[in-house]
Amino acid sequence: MKIKVLGALNAEVNGISIVPSAAKPRQILALLALHPGRVVPVPTLMEEVWGTDLPQSSLATLQTYILQLRRMLGIAMGPDVPGSAKGVLATRYGGYLLQIPAEAVDVYRYERLVAEGRQAFESGEDAGAAALLREALALWEGQALVDVRVGPVLEIEVMRMEQSRLVAQERRIDAELRLGRHVELLAELSDLIARHPQHEGLHSQAMVALYRSGRQAAALDVYQRLRRRLVGELGVEPSPQLQRLHQAMLAFDPRLDIAAGPRRTSTFDLYAA
C-alpha cells in the first residue's frame, strides 16, 4: 500500500485506488493513514467526523464506514494476496489501525528527509542539506489533504504539516543562501513573501537575496513594506533582528556579502543580539 497525504489524498493497493468518494469515510482513511501502525481510538475518529455533537447512531455508522473501507481494500488486494483486509485495517481494543509501515505514507518519508537535512545543515554540509530538503519538499503536490473535508482532529494535523513545510522551505533557503545561490532564489522568495506577508524570516531572506544580487533599493523596499504592514495591521515594529539587518544594509555592512560563515544560523538571525 502507498498513501499520499501531501496534496490530494491518494491510497493505492496493486495500483487500485481505495479512496472512497464519500466525505466521512475519506476523513477516517486520512486519519488512520497519518498514524500507520498505531491505534486511533474510536472517540478520536468520532470527534473528527462529527465533532462534539455525536448522533445516536455514531458508533454503528463508524463501523459501517470501516466495513466500506475494508471492502475496497479487499477488492484491491485480490483473492491471492496473503492476509486479509481485516488484517491490514485491523480492529484493536478501543480503536482501529492500518497495519502498514510508516514509510508507506509520504509524510513519513518527508519527515525523515527533513530530519536528515536539518542534521546536515547543523553539521555545516550546506549542499547536502539543500539537496535533502529539496527532495523532501518535492514530495508535496499541493496543500495537505486538499480534497478531504477536515474536522477538528485533521485540522490540527494539516496545520502541523503545513507549518513543517514552511520551516523546511526556510531552512533550505538558508542553506542555498549560504551557498551563494541568491539570484536563483529571487523568484521563489518573491512568491513566498506574497503568500506570507507578515513572515519576518522569509522577508529577511528576500532582503539578503536582493542585496547580494546588487538590488539594495529593492531589499530596503521589502523591509519598508513589511514594516508598514506590521505597524498598520498589528501595531508593532519589526523585530530587533530585522531592524539590525535593515541598518546593516544602509551601512553596507561587509558581513552581508559573506555567503557562508562560521555561525550555523538562519538568515533571520544574522544580526541576532
E strands in the chain: 2-4, 10-13, 16-17, 40-41, 89-92, 95-98
Residue 265 has pLDDT above 80, yes or no: no
pTM of the model: 0.90
Mean pLDDT, residues 167-174 taken together: 96
**Tens digit of each residue's pLDDT (9 = 90 or more) over 86-123:** 889 999 989 999 999 999 999 999 999 999 999 999 98
Radius of gyration from C-alpha coordinates of the chain: 23
Q: What's the pLDDT score for residue 266?
A: 83
Q: What's the pLDDT score for residue 176?
A: 94
Helix (H, G, I), strand (E, B) or coil at 17: strand
Spatial neighbors of 252 by CB under 8 A, at least 6 apart, are none
Q: What's the pLDDT score for residue 80?
A: 64
Residue 61 has pLDDT above 60, yes or no: yes
DSSP 51-98: TT---TTHHHHHHHHHHHHHHHHHHHH-TTSSS-HHHHEEEETTEEEE
196 — phi, psi (to 5°)? -125, 75
Owner of C-alpha cell 545561490: 181
**Tens digit of each residue's pLDDT (9 = 90 or more) over 63-94:** 999 999 999 998 888 776 656 888 899 999 89
Residue 28 has pLDDT above 90, yes or no: yes
| Distance of alpha carbon 176 from alpha carbon 186, whole angstroms | 12
Across all residues in the chain, what is the average pLDDT? Answer: 92
The grid coordinates listed for 152 are 477538528
pLDDT-based confidence at residue 273 (cuts at 50, 70, 90): low
Helix (H, G, I), strand (E, B) or coil at 262: coil
Mean pLDDT, residues 168-178 taken together: 95
Residue 260 has pLDDT above 70, yes or no: no
| Distance of alpha carbon 5 from alpha carbon 140, whole angstroms | 9
The grid coordinates listed for 254 are 561587509
Comparing 76-85, 139-148, 178-187, 219-228, the range with the smallest average pLDDT is 76-85
